Amino acid sequence: MTQLLFILSHPPGSSIYAQEAFDAALAGSAFSNIALLFVGAGCLQLIEPKLAVEAHQRKDFQRGFRALPDYDVHNVYGCEDSFNQFRLHNQALVIQPTLLTQPDISALLKSVQRVLTF
């Protein structure tokens, strides 16, 4: 089975990339082993949404991260440097990723067959 790594680097609400990455990961999980890596401002997607999303705004997909294990997506990683930069250690997060250092991220990139960047 193919191993896919989705790199999520866009904050929620800035563009459609964050939601598209989530949707693609769920779809891809039916055919491949999926891992998610949140880097840079993409780590902000993991913050628990505080306000309800109104009907005319974007879809509230962030709470969907809790369903990832139901889709056999168990490898969820975050860049430790990004978490430090955005001070996310004390934030209420939708899910808690495994934090990786830069050498760990390099090893992860070498271990997967395909990388998709959003």
**pLDDT at 44 (0 to 100):** 94
Q: Identify the helix (H) or strand (E) that includes residue 79.
A: strand 75-79
Residues 51-106 pLDDT 10s:
655 443 556 788 889 999 999 999 999 999 999 999 998 889 999 999 999 999 99
Contact 59, 21 (CB under 8 A): no
**pLDDT at 59 (0 to 100):** 62
pLDDT tier, 48 (very low <50, low <70, confident <90, very high otherwise): confident
**What pTM was estimated for this model as a whole?**
0.89
Q: Which CATH code for domain 3-117?
A: 3.40.1260.10
Q: For the chain, which residues make up each domain, given as ranges? A: 3-117
**pLDDT at 91 (0 to 100):** 86
Residue where the block lists tokens 């395909």:
114
Residues 19-34 pLDDT 10s:
899 999 999 999 999 9
Longest Cα pair distance anywhere in the chain, in angstroms? Answer: 42
Burial of 12 (0-12, 13-18, 19+ CB in 10 A): buried
**pLDDT at 2 (0 to 100):** 73
Annotate 13-57 with DSSP letters as a single string.
TSSSHHHHHHHHHHHHTTTSEEEEEE-GGGGGGGBPP-SPPPTTS
**pLDDT at 54 (0 to 100):** 47
Nearest Cα residue to 115 out of 30, 28, 42: 28
